[in-house]
Amino acid sequence: MPENHGPYLIRGARPLGGDPVDLLLRDGAVARVGTGLEAPEGAEVVDADGLIALPGLVDLHTHLREPGREDAETVETGSRSAAMGGYTSVHAMANTDPVADTAGVVEQVWHLGREAGLCDVRPVGAVTVGLAGKQLAEIGAMADSSAAVRVFSDDGICVSDALLMRRALEYVKAFDGVVAQHAQEPRLTEGAQMNEGCVSDRLGLSGWPAVAEEAIIARDCLLAQHVGSRLHVCHVSTKGSVEIIRWAKERGCDVTAEVTPHHLLLTDELVEGYDPVYKVNPPLRTEEDVLALREGLADGTIDVVATDHAPHPVEAKETEWSNAAMGMTGLETALAVVQRTMVDTGLLTWEQVADRMSVTPARIGRVEGHGRALGEGGPANVVLYDPAAPVDVEGAAMATKSSNTPFRGMTLPGRVRATFLRGVPTVLEGKIA
């Protein structure tokens, strides 16, 4: 990417959905905000009439698959996908091969992100060696590495050992880190294939009961409060989890939580045809859960939207349900799904969307230079989003290497027109710049 990009003048964008203004991006920062700004010499003008301007999105939960599963995604293709979705920073989960449980691996991922240059890739470090849940990984070394890891997670696997979880929560306090827990009681979910309920019983698929998530969340909230640590709960999926987190926050526990776009929109009824594109962990739940999650996100019980973007090659999904991999892609559809489920329903304003998808995730992940207001002097990380440009979702048309989007065949209400990372466009006119 050329380093010496000229200034960009964004004309007529609506910051946080407010009145149209012009934004001048120069030298990585928002240089001026106002109406009727003159284009400086050499500036490129971007017509943003009718577009919403938000601070560049920050994803706390992304699977970039590299190293190890480059057939599904690489840091580069995942970065493209992120940019196309309006993200300027993503957290790359640790369940790679080898696992990101050493300073060496997290630095490798961090370097690959820098090379791709399309968004700031923040590696997540594993909590335990090899995600095995037996022994703490070298969390401190990862924190001190050039990747400066602040989020630690065994995502995909729950840190189910209560004592180990307690130690991890305590240990990360030393460098203001946070443990992001994948809440899944392992014994209650042995062989689990989908949400346990009417649909699983009818389809004869082993159930993943809501209580397996809720029990761990309750335990971890109590643990975090006991040791005075920060806890982040990954991909909350049940009504009961929302209630427990609400209760924990009320009693002063320093807990944050995320919800995925797919859990805000899709339900387990979709599993009826046994198409593994709907197989995900935690599983799609019921309508009642979906409504509770939306409400929780609206009232702040759930702090952020995180994609859990989980690319898989075709063969991992074109198979029998029980044989198929769990996970869905999500970076490129996240904002549109949030618009449909939260904005168009009147549950969130665009300002609150910016909070849930940029400001707060950056704060939880301690991501410098992201999630800041679009004011003069702030970093020029900007996404321009068209909320009135319906998209027919098609897996093959995406920048991600994989096509396992559960939204395929659906029409989503809007699309990202442009993304700027430190004043440099990564996406312009809906294409990688």
Helix (H, G, I), strand (E, B) or coil at 108: helix
Task: Candidates 77-85, 195-203, 228-236, 259-267: pick the segment binding another protein (CB under 8 A).
Answer: 195-203
Of the pair 175, 274, the CB lying nearest another protein is at 274
Does residue number 198 form part of the binding site for another protein (CB under 8 A)? yes
Q: Looking only at residues 75 through 94 of this chain, which bind another protein when binding is defined by CB under 8 A?
A: none
Does residue number 273 form part of the binding site for another protein (CB under 8 A)? yes
Q: Could you confirm whether 120 is annotated as catalytic?
A: no
Task: Candidates 65-73, 80-88, 190-198, 231-239: pick the segment binding another protein (CB under 8 A).
Answer: 190-198
Does residue number 269 form part of the binding site for another protein (CB under 8 A)? no
DSSP-assigned states of every residue in 117-150: -SSEEEEPBPSBGGG-SSSB--HHHHHHSTT---
For residue 173, CA distances in Å to 224, 227, 269 come to 11, 10, 42
Single-letter residue type at 81:
S
Give yes or no for a contact between 303 and 258, defined as CB atoms under 8 angstroms apart. Answer: yes
Does residue number 287 form part of the binding site for another protein (CB under 8 A)? no
CB of 199 to another protein, least distance (A): 8
Which residues are CB-neighbours of 224 under 8 A, at least 6 positions away? 169, 230, 231, 253, 254, 255
Give yes or no for a contact between 112 and 86, defined as CB atoms under 8 angstroms apart. Answer: no
Find the catalytic residue in 120, 268, 303, 308: 308
Does residue number 175 form part of the binding site for another protein (CB under 8 A)? no
Task: Candidates 68-76, 108-116, 318-326, 389-397: pick the segment binding another protein (CB under 8 A).
Answer: 318-326
Of the pair 211, 298, the CB lying nearest another protein is at 211
**Which bin fits 112, alpha (ψ -120 to 50), beta or left (φ > 0)?**
alpha
Does residue number 202 form part of the binding site for another protein (CB under 8 A)? yes
Give yes or no for a contact between 380 and 289, defined as CB atoms under 8 angstroms apart. Answer: no
CB of 208 to another protein, least distance (A): 12
Locus of tokens 């050493």: 102
- Of 3, 19, 41, 320, the one binding another protein (CB under 8 A) is 320
- Of 73, 120, 196, 258, the one binding another protein (CB under 8 A) is 196
Tell me, letter by letter, the H, E, C secondary structure of 167-215.
HHHHHHHHHCCEEEECCCCCHHHCCCCEECCHHHHHHCCCEECHHHHHH
CB of 300 to another protein, least distance (A): 32
Of the pair 144, 315, the CB lying nearest another protein is at 315
- Of 135, 322, 345, 411, the one binding another protein (CB under 8 A) is 322
Of the pair 201, 288, the CB lying nearest another protein is at 201
Task: Candidates 80-88, 126-134, 206-214, 225-233: pick the segment binding another protein (CB under 8 A).
Answer: 206-214
Q: Where are the alpha helices (DSSP H) in 368-413?
A: none
CB of 211 to another protein, least distance (A): 10
The CA distance from 45 to 207, in Å, is 54
307, with CB counted inside 10 A (0-12, 13-18, 19+), is: buried
Which residues of the chain form contacts with another protein (CB under 8 A)?
193, 196-198, 200-207, 209, 273-274, 315, 318-323
Give catalytic residue positions.
Answer: 308
